[in-house]
Amino acid sequence: MPKLRVRYRQSKLFKNKSSATTLVEKRSSRGCLTCRDRHKKCDEKKPLCSGCKENFLRCVWRDNEEAQEEPHMFLNFHLDDWKVRERGKSMKLTLAVTQKRNFYSLTLRKNVLAKFNEELGHLEELKRFPTAKQLEASELEPESTAELACASLPFLDECTIWLSRQVTPHLTDSLTISNSSIERAIEKAEQGKLSDDSLKTRSFYNYLFDDSHPMAQKFESILQCLNKGEFDIIPKHCTDELFLLYVSVKHWLVSLGPQETHPLLTTQATFTKNFEDNTVLKEVFLCCGATFMEYYDSETFSTLSTDLYQSSLTLIKKFLEDNPDENDKPWLLASYQLLCLRNKTAINSTVNDCVSCLTSSYQIIKSPYYLSKIKSISTTGERYVEELVLEMEHDTSIQKPELEPHDRMFLESFIYNYSVAILWAIDISKLPNPYSVYEVLGNSLKCFIYQCDVRWMNNPIFGAASEAFEILAKASYIARLPMPLDKESIWFKRAMQLQKQAYYHTPSILPSADQTSLEEKVYQNCKTNLLVGEVVAKTSFLLISKVIQYKEFDLLSYQNTVSEIVDNMEKIPKKDFIWGLLTWSVIVCGIFTVDTENQKKILSYLDYIRDKFHMLPLFNSKLFLFKTWELPLADRSDVLFDRENLTWVNA
């Protein structure tokens, strides 16, 4: 029997040392390796200890102490661990378990558990398993079990739960799926002989990051069929959980990265951090995948997207209730930002839903964890900012800020989505004003993370246009104030200052085209970024000019500026993801547009953005513009102060 180390502490009830020592805990060497690395006490529950379960961590045990593999690994779970809900008079529950890459689908129907026989095409009753009546109660005492993380959530019509040897046994409500195509893809991938060791090290989610994976190729071919209008394949393939994860990570998430940046600063590299080990984050990705699919079939996926959105928020809430001291985790900020971006593309969501997620994000950013990181940047000298290059990454002689790549992405995502939501939302009282936001967080946009070809590539969202978006945010905030502004007030003076900054906005210096070290693609990206900065600044100029002049604003006198903005938009390549940053500018410019040809171009830009990013709420934005253009010229720009109509817009 191994020796136990016993730790004592002095009780506050006694001052006498002899009577004050109380046994508080025992430490053994048999706990999981994850808790040992975290210097936490492990309760030694297998296969998932309580500490790892509560923190959504992978529970790693010594190889020689792993539970022996059985043909039916799920038999290790006791009946009390399964939470089943009845829907009407029937009870259905579909479970799928992976063991050595083989899938087992168990269905609870007619009071028996059955396995679907792929060859015979029907369900086979399994005598070894408990009946539905036995699931109601069990006299078995759990030994090393884990409760369902989302047992309190309502089931969908059928629940499919995917487990792998690399994923902790949290069982999540999911979707009704057919596994036959997935099984065939996996069998095809395993025609080559793979050792048990290689299977252990291979991630269950490799298909999300390997384009050559058979499952990835299968899902990509399905998407190609959908883009050709072959929607009849949706019921057969597209409600598959694995498919939704694929479109979420490989398409929806990738489209959210508007800039050419360092590989470790991309949306894929940052938002998928610890993705495999986090049940809540996986639920968020499923929600985003369902939202992406609304574009192809809103009737099928709209309800599913809404249900997954609510379940994601419920899981986050439950985690925060169970772990009140861990409300500053980076993955929580990532989850809220992903849900905010989801609300920009979901057909039933509004800008107010985005603001709700941004408010939750702001509470995390205010935590000591992030404020200490931000403060470390603001107190860092300019010399460090200039000298921070990739080669110095491991130089301990230089004091560096603690901001990590994923922190940079999450903070920048918050700042961008916050900036473009200010003008449209009904209530932003739970968010700070942009002057405070950019004063506190602005330094995080200037800090170098990696050595890149040009400075702005360290800004994975804003690129070279961060200053232009700061003008946009401040102009939007002032436009929310009671009109007209008092000419003696500080806000009127700030508006005048913003008008000058917007009009004389100077883009970053464009590198010379003959630089041998600069690739043509990077040079073209620089030009595109400068155009985006010009478009955002000039559109902000129109808005702040309306605020300053208010009723004296002459719409026709600003048509040259409108034409200049539209011309710059025309120069931006249509296939570039950077169009995702221009929704706000396109809509605001459309409000000021009088010329019919320019109006047609504005509508074509909205159609393009809607189709490229699957932003279905832009239908409402088009209706908003149509109604605006029906107004008399003298009244058109006044819609910028009509809070009820502005909520039609979700940019």
Q: Which fold has domain 5-65?
A: CD2-Gal4 (4.10.240)
* In the predicted structure, residue 412 carries a pLDDT above the cut 60: yes
Average pLDDT over residues 340-359: 94
**What DSSP element (H or E) covers 316?**
helix 298-322
Which pairing describes strands 122-125 and 112-117: parallel, antiparallel, or unpaired? antiparallel
Predicted confidence (pLDDT) per residue in 554-569, tens digit: 999 999 999 999 999 9
Label residue 247 by pLDDT band (50, 70, 90): very high
Q: How many CB atoms lie within 10 A of CB 418?
A: 25
Candidates 484, 390, 393, 401; CA nearest to 446 is 401
**What DSSP element (H or E) covers 498?**
helix 490-503
In degrees, rounded to 5, the angle at the alpha carbon of residue 431 between the alpha carbons of residues 427 and 433 is 100
- The per-residue pLDDT for 192 is 41
- The per-residue pLDDT for 40 is 81
408 against 518, higher pLDDT: 408
165 against 281, higher pLDDT: 281
Average pLDDT over residues 621-627: 94
Helix 596-613 to helix 583-592 angle (10° resolution) is: 160
Candidates 426, 424, 461; CA nearest to 650 is 424
Least confident window among 37-46, 155-164, 209-218, 368-377: 155-164
Least confident window among 30-34, 451-455, 466-470: 451-455
- The per-residue pLDDT for 86 is 44
Predicted confidence (pLDDT) per residue in 525-554, tens digit: 888 999 999 999 999 999 999 999 999 999
250 against 51, higher pLDDT: 250
Q: Where are the domains of the chain?
A: 5-65, 74-177
Least confident window among 166-180, 434-448, 457-471, 498-512: 166-180
- The per-residue pLDDT for 519 is 72
395 against 275, higher pLDDT: 275
Helices marked H in 323-404? 330-345, 351-365, 368-378, 382-387
358 against 402, higher pLDDT: 358
* In the predicted structure, residue 489 carries a pLDDT above the cut 70: yes
State how far the Cα of 611 lies from the Cα of 2, in Å rounded to an integer.
Answer: 63
Predicted confidence (pLDDT) per residue in 290-331, tens digit: 999 999 988 889 999 999 999 999 999 999 998 888 888 889
State how far the Cα of 176 lies from the Cα of 158, in Å rounded to an integer.
Answer: 5
93 against 269, higher pLDDT: 269
* Tokens linked to 258: 């508007």
Report yes or no: 99 and 200 within 8 Å, Cβ to Cβ.
no
In terms of phi and psi (left: phi > 0; alpha: psi -120 to 50; beta: otherwise), the region of 378 is alpha
* In the predicted structure, residue 21 carries a pLDDT above the cut 50: no
- The per-residue pLDDT for 48 is 86
- The per-residue pLDDT for 29 is 73
Report yes or no: 412 and 461 within 8 Å, Cβ to Cβ.
yes
Average pLDDT over residues 33-52: 83
- The per-residue pLDDT for 509 is 65
* In the predicted structure, residue 246 carries a pLDDT above the cut 70: yes
Label residue 114 by pLDDT band (50, 70, 90): low
Q: What is the three-class DSSP state of 123?
A: strand
Average pLDDT over residues 352-378: 82
* In the predicted structure, residue 370 carries a pLDDT above the cut 60: yes
Residue 113 has φ and ψ, to the nearest 5°, of -95, 135
27 against 106, higher pLDDT: 27
585 against 83, higher pLDDT: 585
Predicted confidence (pLDDT) per residue in 209-242, tens digit: 888 888 889 999 988 988 888 888 887 767 788 8
- The per-residue pLDDT for 14 is 42
Length, in residues, of the chain: 651
55 against 493, higher pLDDT: 493
Predicted confidence (pLDDT) per residue in 587-609, tens digit: 999 999 999 999 999 999 999 99
* In the predicted structure, residue 418 carries a pLDDT above the cut 50: yes
For the chain, what is the mean pLDDT? 74
- The per-residue pLDDT for 126 is 54
Report yes or no: 148 and 279 within 8 Å, Cβ to Cβ.
no
* In the predicted structure, residue 469 carries a pLDDT above the cut 70: yes
- CA–chain centroid gap for 188, Å, is 32
Predicted confidence (pLDDT) per residue in 500-510, tens digit: 999 999 876 66
- The per-residue pLDDT for 27 is 56
* In the predicted structure, residue 642 carries a pLDDT above the cut 80: yes
* In the predicted structure, residue 9 carries a pLDDT above the cut 80: no
- The per-residue pLDDT for 212 is 86
Label residue 157 by pLDDT band (50, 70, 90): very low
- The per-residue pLDDT for 56 is 66
Q: Kindly write down the DSSP assignment for every residue of 461-478, as one continuous string.
A: TTTT-HHHHHHHHHHHHH
Report yes or no: 260 and 522 within 8 Å, Cβ to Cβ.
yes
Average pLDDT over residues 389-412: 60
Highest mean pLDDT pick, 64-68, 201-205, 277-281, 493-497: 493-497
- The per-residue pLDDT for 113 is 52
**What is the share, in percent, of the chain residues with pLDDT greater than 70?**
67
